Amino acid sequence: MRADLVDPLLSGNKYFKLKPNVEAARRAGLSTLLSFGGPWSNHLHALAAAGQRFGFNTIGVVRGAAPAELNACLQDAASWGMRLHFVSRNDYQHRDEPDFLAALKQVFGEYYLIPEGGANLEGILGCRELAAAIPPKTFSRLLLACGTGTTLAGLITAADVPVTGIQVLKGAGYLQREVNEMLAKYDLSPTVAWEMLDEFHGGGYARADPLLLDFCNAFTSETGVPLEPVYSGKLFFAIADLLARGHFARGSHLLAIHGGGLQGLRGFGMSR
Ligand SMILES: *Cc1c(COP(=O)(O)O)cnc(C)c1O
């Protein structure tokens, strides 16, 4: 499923996570959206585009010192009106704490807070729309790449077939635990069986593993479907590996959800 094609700027699953957040901000009468991300964040990139499109001010709190020159991702965000606020890696770790958030209010005034990656209840509920877009009784399993697990949380509480998540960050079993905590926090229950596979991180988040980059290039030349190595590349790499190992029952109809994020290719000196 080409969620990367849902919108040219509000890419992939970010569109689904941001839409209900924008609506909640509007209901709350707030005109500024603030969120967090790294310098190549697909989330901040999409948030800046959403702000421009729907008439909100946006503030991107970016992890790490201000660079001498903005990268292509942050240039886009700034050109769409996002104010960029750089914080040290150390300060960034406090991004969910009340004191840190209050200090940001001192600087920027009142804002509607969206957690990093759009990982809140609105984000989860928005991703249920993604499930609703899948034709019923056509597929026997959905597969997707997971960062915060928000998209998966939306799918497993709305889909009618099992779901496999591919964890792109390193850390045995941690994301499965976090998804369970997220479901408990918002009092949501899965409607289907699901699994989170933690062995396909390829060395860690956004590591440019040469094997993975080769896989992405070969896949794109064979199929015409662009992949980036942070999420979708790991997803299709994992699927190829799982198929080779017979992980899925014969005759399974797999639906892989391409979450977009192709702007990030520029961080690897590649283009779509
Ligand atoms: C953000 C992103 C994901 C991860 O989504 P989560 O809801 O955080 O798990 C997957 N793929 C792409 C392309 C993304 O940009």
pLDDT at 214: 95
Mutate which of 16, 42, 257 for ligand 1? The one with the most ligand atoms within 8 Å of its CB, which is: 42
pLDDT confidence bin for 238, thresholds 50/70/90: very high
- pLDDT tens sequence across 31-42: 999 999 999 999
pLDDT for residue 5 is more than 90: no
pLDDT for residue 190 is more than 90: yes
- pLDDT tens sequence across 116-175: 999 999 999 999 999 999 988 899 999 999 999 999 999 999 999 999 999 999 999 999
Cα separation, 252 vs 111, whole angstroms: 46
pLDDT for residue 218 is more than 80: yes
Q: From residue 194, how far is each of 39, 197, 218, 219 by CA, in Å?
A: 31, 10, 29, 26
pLDDT at 270: 79
Return the SS3 of 94: coil
pLDDT at 7: 76
Mutate which of 125, 151, 237 for ligand 1? The one with the most ligand atoms within 8 Å of its CB, which is: 151
- pLDDT tens sequence across 220-235: 999 999 999 999 999 9
Classify residue 5 as exposed, middle or buried by CB count within 10 Å of its CB (0-12, 13-18, 19+): exposed
**Burial profile 235-267: b = 16 or more Cβ within 10 angstroms, e = fewer:** bbbbbeebeeeeebeeeeeebbbbbbbbbbbbb
More confident position, 76 or 6 = 76
Atom of ligand 1 minimally distant from the CA of 117 = 8
pLDDT at 84: 98
Residues with CB under 6 A from ligand 1: 12-14, 42-43, 117, 145-152, 231-232, 259-261
What average pLDDT does the chain have? 95
